[in-house]
Structure 1
Amino acid sequence: LDGNSLRSFSRVSVGSLYNAEALEKSVEEMQIELSRRGYAFATVRPRGDRNFDAHTVSIAFQIEEGPRLYIERINVVGNTRTRDYVIRREFDISEGDAYNRALVDRAERRLKNLDFFKSVKITTEPGSSSDRVILVVNLEEKSTGDFSVSGGYSTSDGALGEVSISERNFLGRGLFAKASVQYGQYARGYSLSFVEPYLLDYRVALGLDFYQRQQLANSYISYSTKTLGFSPRLGFALREDLTLQLRYSLYKQEITLPSVLNNCNNNLGTAGYFPTPQFINAGNPNNTGYGVLGCYGDGEASLPVRIGLSNGAYWTSALGYTLTYNTLDNTRNPTDGLLVDFRQDFAGVGGDVKFLKTAFDAKYYTPLVSDIVGLVHLQAGNLSSYGGYQLRMLDNFQMGPNLVRGFAPNGIGARDIGTYAIYGYGGDALGGTNYWGASAELQMPFWFLPKEVGLKGAVYADAGSLFDYKGPTGWTLTNEVNTPGCIKATQTSLGTCTGLNYDDTNVVRSSVGVGLIWASPFGPLRFDYAIPLTKGKYDRVQEFRFGGGTSF
Structure 2
Amino acid sequence: MRSLRNLTKAAMLSVAFVGLAPAMGGLPGIGAAPAHAESVSRITVSGNTRVEAETIVSYVTIKPGRPFTSIDIDDSIKALFATGLFSDVQISRAGGALQVRVVENPVIARVAFEGNDRHSDTVLGATVELQPRSVLTQAKVQSDTQRIQELYRRTGRYNAKVEPKVVDLGQNRVDLIFQIDEGPRTEVSRISFVGNKAFSDGRLQDVIATKESGILGWLKSSDNYDPDKLNADQEALKRFYYNHGYADFRIISAVADFDREQNAFFITITVEEGEQYVYGDINVETTLSEVNAKDLLSLARTHKGDVYSAKDVEKTLEDITVAVAEKGYAFVQVRPRGDRDYAGHKISITYFIDEGARAYIEKINVIGNTRTRDYVIRREFDLGEGDAYNQVLIEKAERRLKALGYFKNVRVYSEPGSSPDRVVVNVQVEDQTTGEISVGGGYSTTSGFIAELSISEKNFLGRGQQVRASVGRGFSTDSSSSDTQTYELSFTEPYLFDRRLSGGFDVYRRQYAAGSDVIHPYEEVLTGGAIRFGIPVMEDLTLGLRYSAYQQEISDVQDDITKINPKLIPTGDSFVSSVSYTLTYDTIDNKLFPRNGIYAQFGQEFAGVGGDVSFLRTSVKADYYKELMSDWSLVGHVGLKGGQITGIGDDLRFIDHFRLGGDTVRGFASEGFGPRDKATGYLLGGQYYVAATAETLFPMPVIPEEFGLYGSLFADAGTVWSADSGTVDSSGATLQGDDAKLRASVGVGLIWQSPFGLLRADFAYPVLKEDYDETQIFRFSGGTKF
TM-score by length of 1: 0.80
Report how far residue 354 of structure 1 moved.
0.7
Match of 1:525 in 2: 759
Matched, 1:222 2:521: yes
Report how far residue 90 of structure 1 moved.
1.4
The question of whether the paired residues in 2 share the 8 Å contact of 1:223 and 1:301 is answered with: no
Report how far residue 499 of structure 1 moved.
4.6
Provide Cα deviations, 1:495-549, integer angstroms capped at 9, x if missing partner. xx7353433111222332222122334543323233333334643343x222224
The question of whether the paired residues in 1 share the 8 Å contact of 2:642 and 2:691 is answered with: yes
Match of 1:208 in 2: 505
Match of 1:317 in 2: 577
Summarize the alignment of residues 496-535 of structure 1 with structure 2, pairs less than 5 Å apart: 498-535=732-769
Provide Cα deviations, 1:436-464, integer angstroms capped at 9, x if missing partner. 11221111012432333121111122222
1:199 to 493, 496, 499: 496
Q: Structure 1 residues 17 and 510 mapped into 2: Cα distance closer, same or farther (>3 Å)?
A: farther
Summarize the alignment of residues 240-255 of structure 1 with structure 2, pairs less than 5 Å apart: 240-255=539-554
Matched, 1:439 2:729: no
Match of 2:661 in 1: 400
The question of whether the paired residues in 2 share the 8 Å contact of 1:254 and 1:309 is answered with: no
Question: Using CA pairs below 8 Å that are at least 6 residues apart, which structure has the higher relative contact order?
Answer: 1
Provide Cα deviations, 1:298-335, integer angstroms capped at 9, x if missing partner. x436977x436554122110000111111111111110
Aligned residue for 1:431, secondary structure, equals coil
Matched, 1:547 2:743: no
Q: Structure 1 residues 165 and 447 mapped into 2: Cα distance closer, same or farther (>3 Å)?
A: closer
Larger helix percent: 2
Provide Cα deviations, 1:455-500, integer angstroms capped at 9, x if missing partner. 111112222211111163254xxxxxxxxxxxxxxxxxxxxx7353
1:142 to 432, 436, 457: 432
CA distance in 2, matches of 1:323, 1:526: 29
CA distance in 1, matches of 2:473, 2:767: 36
The question of whether the paired residues in 1 share the 8 Å contact of 2:762 and 2:780 is answered with: no
1:371 to 616, 633, 651: 633
1:354 to 614, 627, 643: 614
Provide Cα deviations, 1:136-179, integer angstroms capped at 9, x if missing partner. 00011234456x58464443654445555544333433333344
2:712 to 458, 477, 492: 458
Provide Cα deviations, 1:390-441, integer angstroms capped at 9, x if missing partner. 11111001102233222232222101212xxxxxxx3221111111112211
CA distance in 2, matches of 1:152, 1:541: 16
Aligned residue for 1:10, secondary structure, equals coil
Matched, 1:231 2:522: no
Summarize the alignment of residues 277-426 of structure 1 with structure 2, pairs less than 5 Å apart: 299-300=560-561, 306-307=566-567, 309-369=569-629, 370-387=632-649, 389-418=650-679, 426=680
What letter is aligned with 1:336?
Answer: N
Match of 1:41 in 2: 332
CA distance in 1, matches of 2:579, 2:395: 37
Provide Cα deviations, 1:353-384, integer angstroms capped at 9, x if missing partner. 11111111111111111210011101111101
Aligned residue for 1:85, secondary structure, equals helix
Match of 1:110 in 2: 400
Aligned residue for 1:404, secondary structure, equals coil
Provide Cα deviations, 1:213-262, integer angstroms capped at 9, x if missing partner. 1233455533343211110111112222111110100012233346xx23
What letter is aligned with 2:764?
Answer: A
CA distance in 1, matches of 2:350, 2:299: 14
Match of 1:76 in 2: 366
CA distance in 2, matches of 1:144, 1:526: 22
What letter is aligned with 1:3?
Answer: A
CA distance in 2, matches of 1:151, 1:25: 37
In structure 1, stretches of 5+ residues that fail to align are: 263-298, 419-425, 476-496
Aligned residue for 1:222, secondary structure, equals coil
What letter is aligned with 1:316?
Answer: V
CA distance in 2, matches of 1:394, 1:303: 18
CA distance in 2, matches of 1:302, 1:339: 47
What letter is aligned with 2:493?
Answer: E
Aligned residue for 1:239, secondary structure, equals coil
Report how far residue 50 of structure 1 moved.
4.3
Summarize the alignment of residues 58-77 of structure 1 with structure 2, pairs less than 5 Å apart: 58-77=348-367
The 10-residue stretch of structure 1 (426-435 or 23-32) with the greater mean CA deviation from structure 2: 23-32
CA distance in 2, matches of 1:199, 1:249: 19
What letter is aligned with 2:687?
Answer: T
Summarize the alignment of residues 140-219 of structure 1 with structure 2, pairs less than 5 Å apart: 140-145=430-435, 148=437, 150=439, 152-155=441-444, 157-162=447-452, 166-185=456-475, 186-217=483-514
CA distance in 2, matches of 1:536, 1:192: 38
The question of whether the paired residues in 1 share the 8 Å contact of 2:334 and 2:351 is answered with: no
TM-score by length of 2: 0.57
CA distance in 2, matches of 1:165, 1:456: 26
CA distance in 2, matches of 1:505, 1:175: 47
What percent identity do the matched residue pairs reach?
A: 44
CA distance in 2, matches of 1:48, 1:351: 64
CA distance in 1, matches of 2:513, 2:757: 26
Provide Cα deviations, 1:58-96, integer angstroms capped at 9, x if missing partner. 443333444443212111112233332222111110112
The question of whether the paired residues in 1 share the 8 Å contact of 2:643 and 2:689 is answered with: yes
Report how far residue 57 of structure 1 moved.
5.8
RMSD: 2.7
Q: Structure 1 residues 176 and 404 mapped into 2: Cα distance closer, same or farther (>3 Å)?
A: closer
